[in-house]
Amino acid sequence: MSKIRILPENLANQIAAGEVVERPASVVKEFVENSIDAGAGRIRVEVEGGGSRLIRVIDDGSGMDQDDMLLCLERHATSKLWNAEQLAAINTLGFRGEAIPSIASVSRLTITSRLVDAPLGNRAEVRFGQLHKVHEMGCGPGTIMEVHDLFGNVPARRKFLKTTRTELSHIDEIVINSALAYPAIGFTCAVDNKEVLSFAAGCESLEWRVREIMAPHLKKNLIPVEGREGEMALSGFLLPPDEGAAPAARLKIFVNRRPVRDRVISHAVAEGMHNFLMKGRKPGGAVFLALDPRLVDVNVHPTKQEIRFRDSQHVHRMVVYAVGRAMENYQNEVRFSLFGRPEKSEKQPFSGLAASSPATPRRRDTPDSLSVPAVKLFVETTRPSVPVNAPAVLTVAEPPPPGVHPPPSQAMDAEDKSVQPEKTTGRRLRYVGQFFQSYLLCETDGGIAVIDQHAAHERLLFEKLKNQYHDMRLPGRSLLFPEIIECTPAQIEVLTAHAEEIRRLGVNIQEFGGQSYAVKAVPAILGHLGPLEIINGIFDCFLNREGKEKVTARRIDDILALMACKAAVKANDPLLPQEGEELVRRMEEAGIFSHCPHGRPVVKFFSEADIKKWFFR
Ligand SMILES: Nc1ncnc2c1ncn2[C@@H]1O[C@H](COP(=O)(O)OP(=O)(O)O)[C@@H](O)[C@H]1O
Ligand SMILES: [Mg+2]
């Protein structure tokens, strides 16, 4: 006799439930998704006992007639898919037709549903997989799905549930994600008869929803993200970079409106914001990628939270670029709020599309000032006439003796003054003075700004160094006496693999026999440091294990940031009034000025209204 047997239907359903129904929140997810697929305008979730006792999802969607109600209890019964071609291009949230039978097999399920134009509805009761009762009954249009006693017949599963609080937080997350993905639908969630979440129906604005959910107390604008490339479109709203810390505000990613965990997109968003995010800080907000369903596989896992892109590099590039543009607009908005808008340029509403060309007051070189996609930096920047292999070693004025920090004015004088600022109208930052020998106090028409002098100067130098690096004209300073250093094998590997980059940094280092190398020139801007310190700093940036996956371009950024940091005025450096003024003036001209290269904010603004409030005026 054959040993193989077809499993009884109910057992097969229970096994499927093992994958689909992990916890109460999974049930909520499946039901809410079904309600959305059914075209609901309002969805209400009710939970008792952390979801183990009761989960009820009520919608005003299309409803089902009695035949469909019975059919949906069968495995692989779905109204959303007929053939294999459709599987490759799914545009509903459900499609497997296994949620309802799976849930029904591990709970007591009641379905009450009425088609909009039917006079009566129906109710079906299923107890742990067995259909118990079906009957007609009077009810409102739409569907009510009720689950009692979840995992009542699988005690092992029940034992694995976490505390009520944890289970509720998972349910919360489901409702919130759905509310973000479907801003036009109204959602409420009640726990033990108490309403805990409520998002009104008919709010078509995603911005509103994002703000309502992620940053209800935020006074600043959210940062709109828009991007399009071929069939692929990105939209969403990011929190201003200094705000995104709260767990509720952590970046949420949706692909074709489905909440997903995706490293490609989350990495790309962080990359697009990298100029503005402090180490360890994560972006906040919600982004939505819409693309041809054939370009993404959502069928990787039954819960559909993981996805796979056909061309993940393409997606990554597009997202980095769109977020980069959004941040550029954000930067301009900060600029306008401090320095006024450029003359003649139309008032640029911040809610405008990031993709539209922003009224940039002055940018030296767009691809350089904002290192958006790392690849673009190197490939698309139009090269100046300097040949690629030209030695970057030039000599500048006599450096200060070792150990002496260059006076700030000198460091600043070394900067490029060739760009004439456009005139701005309205507000203008007026330098008032330095305090604590570390901060600059400025007054504008709308309030006061406090600037961190080190962070501000660091960013300016960084932008300048980056431009110079990419233009192959980062000046080096020849050493009178070459410094001989001993290198480790790893360091020697760096010297070989990155010889070109290191030369472009203004360093001239040559073999001196064995493990020894002679440092003959160092970046001019670091003339006040010892060669060993400089070279070790460069080695560290290349060999740093922390960002193992970092591309070379980003490592060069690290080096340039380090150089900017070492060369910038420090906290506790007294500044002359002209120096303070000059720093502020240059901020106005810079492509990016609001955050230091390590993402620390440079400026804090206090509006006149805020200040009046302090004094009850
Ligand atoms: N709230 C609802 N309103 C209307 N129809 C529903 C609802 N929930 C489920 N259905 C119907 O039941 C079918 C089976 O649901 P389900 O088991 O979740 O599979 P899937 O969503 O993958 O199709 C759906 O295809 C749909 O036709
Ligand atoms: Mg479904």
What is the pLDDT confidence band of residue 109, given thresholds at 50, 70 and 90?
Answer: very high
Question: Is 345 part of any domain?
Answer: no
Question: 89-98, 185-194, 349-358 — which one is most confidently predicted on average?
Answer: 185-194
Residue among 29, 31, 37 whose CB has most ligand 1 atoms within 8 A, to mutate:
37
Stretch (H or E) spanning 127: strand 121-127
Determine the atom of ligand 1 nearest the C-alpha atom of 102.
17
Number of structural domains (the chain) is 3
Please report whether residue 154 resides in a domain: yes
| Cβ contact 566:526 at 8 Å | yes
Q: Out of 158, 178, 199, pick the residue that ends a domain.
A: 199
Which range has the worst mean pLDDT, 107-111, 267-271, 334-338, 557-561?
334-338
262 Cα–ligand 1 center, Å: 26
CATH at 306: 3.30.230.10
User: Residue 125 corresponds to which tokens in the numbers above?
Assistant: 């009761």
Task: Give me the pLDDT at residue 449, please.
Answer: 94
Domain boundary among 327, 353, 372: 327
446 plus 319 within the same structural domain: no
Whether residue 337 lies inside any domain: the answer is no
> 3-class DSSP state for residue 510?
strand
**Closest ligand 1 atom to 98 CA:** 17
Which backbone phi and psi does 526 adopt, to 5 degrees?
-105, 20
Residue with tokens 């909009």: 116
pLDDT-derived band at 593 (thresholds 50, 70, 90) equals very high
Domain of 557, CATH number, reads 3.30.1370.100
What integer pLDDT is reported at residue 425 of this predicted model? 44
Residue nearest to atom 7 of ligand 1 (CA): 34
Average pLDDT rounded to a whole number, residues 71-83: 83
Same domain for 186 and 107: yes
Mean of pLDDT values over 499-523: 95
553: pLDDT strictly greater than 70: yes
Both 594 and 571 in one domain: the answer is yes
pLDDT-derived band at 410 (thresholds 50, 70, 90) equals: very low
Mean pLDDT of 253-273: 93
Using the atom order of ligand 1, give the atom closest to the CA of residue 59.
1
Query: What is d(CA 51, CA 41) in angstroms, rounded to the nearest whole number?
Result: 24
Residue 372 pLDDT more than 50? no
Residue 242 lies in domain: 206-327
pLDDT of residue 344: 53
Are the CB atoms for 595 and 330 separated by under 8 Å?
A: no
Same domain for 107 and 57: yes
Atom of ligand 1 nearest to the CA of 93: 21
Is residue 274 located within the same domain as residue 193? Answer: no
CATH number of residue 161's parent domain: 3.30.565.10
**Residue at a domain's end among 179, 199, 219:** 199
- What spacing in Å lies between the alpha carbon of 395 and ligand 1's midpoint? 74
Q: Which of 90-104, 275-289, 399-413, 489-503 has the lowest mean pLDDT?
A: 399-413
Residue 342 lies in a domain: no
Cα-based angle 213, 219, 224 (whole degrees, multiple of 5): 65
pLDDT at 343: 61
Question: Does the pLDDT at position 37 exceed 90?
Answer: yes
| Residues with a CB atom less than 6 Å from ligand 1 | 30, 34-35, 38, 59, 61-64, 72, 77-80, 94-100, 143
Contact of 305 with 311, CB cutoff 8 Å: no
Say yes or no to pLDDT of 408 above 50: no
Residues 95 and 139 in one domain: yes
Question: Region 388-408: what's the mean pLDDT?
Answer: 35
Work out the percent of the chain whose per-residue pLDDT is above 70.
84
Q: Going by CA atoms, what residue is nearest to atom 9 of ligand 1?
A: 34
Q: Which of 112-116, 165-169, 337-341, 609-613 has the lowest mean pLDDT?
A: 337-341
In this model, does residue 76 exceed pLDDT 60? yes
Give distance in angstroms: CA of 78 to centre of ligand 1.
6
pLDDT at 336: 87
What residue owns the CA closest to ligand 1's atom 27?
79
Q: Do 258 and 287 share a domain, yes or no?
A: yes
- CA distances for 187 relative to 112, 139, 208, 285, 394, angstroms: 19, 20, 14, 19, 65
Question: How confident is the model over 412-445, as pLDDT tens digits?
Answer: 444 443 334 444 444 578 999 999 999 999 998 8
If you average pLDDT over residues 568-587, what whole number do you get?
94
pLDDT at 353 over 90: no
In a domain, 428, yes or no: yes
Task: Say yes or no: 457 and 527 in one domain.
Answer: yes
Which tops the pLDDT comparison, 389 or 442? 442
Q: Which amino acid is at 383?
A: R
Provide the phi-psi class of 304: left if phi over 0, else alpha when psi is between -120 and 50, else beta: left
Position 10 scores a pLDDT of 79
**What is residue 148's DSSP assignment?**
E
Give the model's pLDDT for residue 81: 75
My answer on whether 242 and 183 are in the same domain is no
Q: Which two tokens stand for residue 345?
A: 């340029």
Nearest CA to ligand 1 atom 10: 34
Stretch 295-304: mean pLDDT? 75
33 C-alpha to ligand 2 centroid (Å): 6
pLDDT range class, residue 106, cuts 50, 70, 90: very high
The residue written with tokens 């009695």 in the block is: 66
Q: Are 477 and 522 in contact (CB under 8 A)?
A: yes
Q: How far apart are CA 513 and CA 424, in angstroms?
A: 58
pLDDT for the residue numbered 245: 63
Taking 90 as the threshold, does the pLDDT of residue 466 lie above it? Answer: yes
- Report residue 363's pLDDT band, with 50, 70 and 90 as the boundaries: very low
Backbone angles phi, psi at 178, to 5 degrees: -65, -40
Distance 104 CA to ligand 2 centre (A): 13
Q: Is residue 165 part of a domain?
A: yes
Both 247 and 172 in one domain: the answer is no
The four Cα atoms 56, 60, 61, 63 give a dihedral, to 10 degrees, of 70
Residue 122 counted as domain residue: yes
Average the pLDDT over 260-285 and give the result.
91
pLDDT value at residue 545: 79
CA-to-CA dists, residue 278 to 55, 214, 447, 464, 542, angstroms: 41, 20, 26, 20, 20
Tell me the mean pLDDT in the region 536-546. 90
Residues 519 and 594 in one domain: yes
- In the reported structure, the alpha carbon of residue 205 is separated from the centroid of ligand 2 by a whole-number distance in angstroms of 26
Q: How far is the CA of 98 from the centre of ligand 2 (A)?
A: 7
Query: What average pLDDT does this structure show over 203-227?
Result: 91
Ligand positioned closest to the Cα atom of 35: 1
Residue 244 pLDDT:
61
Ligand 1 pocket mutation pick from 34, 66, 90, 107 by most atoms within 8 angstroms of CB: 34
By alpha-carbon position, which residue is closest to atom 16 of ligand 1? 97
The answer to whether residue 396 is domain-embedded is no
Residue 339 near residue 427 (C-beta atoms within 8 A): yes
Mean pLDDT of the chain: 83
Name which of 385-389, 443-447, 584-588 the model is least confident about: 385-389
